[in-house]
Amino acid sequence: MNTAVSPAVRQYFTSIRAALAGLELFLGDRNSPLYRDTVVGEVIVPYLMRLKASVACWENRIGFVEHFRISRAESGFPVFQNVLELENDRQSAEKRLASIPSADSLREEMVDLILRQKAFPEALQARMAERLYLEQIGKGDIFSPFILPETIRVGVNPQTMRPYYVVAWGAFDGTQTLPMIYMATIDDSSDNIVEMLVTEDGKLNPEIEIPLPVGGLLNPELASRFDDFASKNSAYSLTPVTIATNLDKDFPELHPKQLRRIVLGPFYSAGITENNARINDILSKVRKTENAWLLTWTVQEVFSKAERPAERGFWSSTPAQEEFHIDTGNLEAARMGVSAYEKHALVPHDAYQALYAAGEAAQVFGDYKVHVISGNQVVSEV
């Protein structure tokens, strides 16, 4: 392995692995709000698995690269360049693996170098780390810069009698270095889709088999355009209401009823992140370094409060338009461009005790819903 890797970086990877494992535990907790909202929980889990796979790859990667940068002062996640490099390496992994000796051969060479030549096998360790890294990439999906949409649920909207889709996709924002998960509930008024999917009594046609999840939007005539739309409208700088409004305007046949964005981060790790000096100072006093972290995330939601019907005239026509609700009575919601939002914080018991003992818990967590991990249990609403 790369002997130049600092203890702080080692600790960072230990902490972020623990944080993501903790989030996985939280999502599986029957008492957690995200478990009760099965759609949100169902959506987040596969993207969390992707993020865990990316972290495992990056941890192997530090064994053979000279530099690995983390967004220390902002999100606490690896910088976007690492995300791009991971995606590029994934595409060339098979070819590169073919040029590296097998793991057994590398181990034999290392033993020979140590026992016979009394030398430290640094170069061979770097090659082994590269092999492990490339093998890890091939084991499963990673959190790419953009993850194509999937249709995960299909039903019929009883109010409009149209079929609706729940569509999910992911994006890693390059400016804010934040992984994000999107999910949208969308009515489809395309005549052929309505005729195919909706029965006369307003139910989903049982004769149509839909093997969920389906890659892309379920409507094949719009799927490619929808992929392109999602790739261009997933930046953190765009508010959820802007994204939903753009979707409503760009697709006359699609009617977004709800859009959610789950923003993972910031992540705080003692000894390496600098995104909040007071938090990091307190975390640095936690006795066990593997518990010296704090993971936050925000669930943003915008929903349609009404649909203005289409107007068809002799000279021109206007498609149906959604009226999205923005909570103008809440300054933070108005700033975010959302109908509602929730802020969550996940923290080990040791770290929470340190924050509480320092008298900082109320100020640090503010309007966050706090979830404390103790062993294999998560206690929420502390």
CA distance 235 to 284: 33
| Token pair listed for 148 | 């194509």
Of the pLDDT bands very low, low, confident and very high (cuts 50, 70, 90), residue 4 is low
CA distance 202 to 219: 19
- State yes or no: pLDDT of 381 exceeds 80: no
Largest CA distance in the chain: 91
Taking residues 158-172, report their average pLDDT.
Answer: 96
CA-derived radius of gyration, the chain? 24
* Mean pLDDT score of the chain: 90
Q: Which long-range contacts (CB under 8 A, 24 or more apart) does 78-86 make?
A: 78/177, 79/177, 80/145, 80/172, 80/173, 80/174, 80/175, 80/177, 82/58, 83/54, 83/143, 83/144, 83/145, 83/172, 83/174, 84/145, 86/54, 86/57, 86/58, 86/61, 86/137, 86/142, 86/144
Query: Which residues are within 8 A (CB) of 323 and not within 5 positions of it... i.e. 6 or more apart?
Result: 304, 305, 306, 307, 308
Of the pLDDT bands very low, low, confident and very high (cuts 50, 70, 90), residue 382 is low
91-95, 218-222, 243-247: segment of lowest average pLDDT: 91-95
Residue 33 confidence (pLDDT)? 62
- State yes or no: pLDDT of 314 exceeds 60: no
Residue 3 confidence (pLDDT)? 47
Taking residues 206-210, report their average pLDDT.
Answer: 94
Give the position of tokens 């697709």. 251
- In the three-class reduction of DSSP (H, G, I as helix; E, B as strand; rest coil), residue 150 is classed as strand
Query: Which residues are within 8 A (CB) of 139 and not within 5 positions of it... i.e. 6 or more apart?
Result: 53
Q: Are strands 368-374 and 340-348 parallel, antiparallel or unpaired?
A: parallel
Look up the pTM and report it: 0.91
Q: CB of 40 within 8 A of CB of 260?
A: yes
Q: What b-and-e string marks burial along 148-160, b requiring 16 or more CB atoms within 10 Å of the CB?
A: ebbbbbbebbeeb
CA-to-CA dists, residue 368 to 103, 161, 183, 338, angstroms: 46, 38, 22, 17
Residue 273 confidence (pLDDT)? 87
